[in-house]
């Protein structure tokens, strides 16, 4: 529901607009998803109710491979994935200490082979952060 326009000016009446009932990015991970029931009454009265829907959980998982073998990292990832909701959307983030060779061995193809088929799992690209100061 919008109560202001893009310039921030107050609208005369609220505007209801459709959106996705699924989360489409990690920026929406805490947003409640649902739909509106709008009731129009004689004489122009309007009532609305928000009806929440279950949404797939979105999870950030850091992969730390410092001082571990590929087999140990894979075993740890398999345990972590098994503990998650099978419907989850999972974004893996490499720890700064993970060697590039180890990271390349943890392909998305391998990840999908060990995750439930209902899970969306992929590597997220870490954002650049400017040095402090």
> Of 102 and 128, which is predicted with more confidence?
102
Q: Which helix (H) or strand (E) holds 114?
A: helix 108-114
Distance CA 100, CA 111 (A): 17
pLDDT given at position 89: 95
pLDDT recorded at residue 74: 92
Question: pLDDT tens-digit profile of 6-43?
Answer: 898 998 877 777 788 888 889 999 989 999 898 888 88
User: Rounded to whole angstroms, how far apart are CA atoms 79 and 89?
Assistant: 16
pLDDT at 114 (0 to 100): 96
pLDDT in tens, 73-102: 899 999 999 999 999 999 999 887 788 888
pLDDT at 126 (0 to 100): 60
- Partners of 92 in beta bridges: 61, 123
48-82 pLDDT, tens digit per residue, is 899 999 999 999 999 887 767 889 989 999 999 99
Whether pTM > 0.85 for this model: the answer is no
């Amino acid at each position: 529901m919008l109560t202001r326009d893009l310039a921030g000016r107050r609208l005369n009446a609220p505007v209801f607009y459709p959106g996705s009932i699924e989360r489409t990015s990690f920026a929406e991970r805490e947003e409640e998803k649902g739909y509106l029931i709008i009731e129009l009454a004689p004489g122009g009265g309007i009532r609305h109710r928000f009806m929440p829907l279950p949404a797939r959980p979105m999870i950030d998982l850091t992969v730390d491979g410092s001082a571990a073998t590929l087999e140990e990292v894979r075993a740890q990832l398999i345990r972590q994935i098994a503990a998650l909701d099978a419907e989850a959307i999972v974004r893996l983030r490499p720890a700064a200490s993970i060697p590039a060779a180890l990271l390349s061995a943890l392909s998305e193809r391998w990840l999908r082979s060990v995750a439930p088929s209902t899970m969306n799992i992929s590597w997220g690209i870490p954002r650049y952060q400017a040095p402090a100061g």
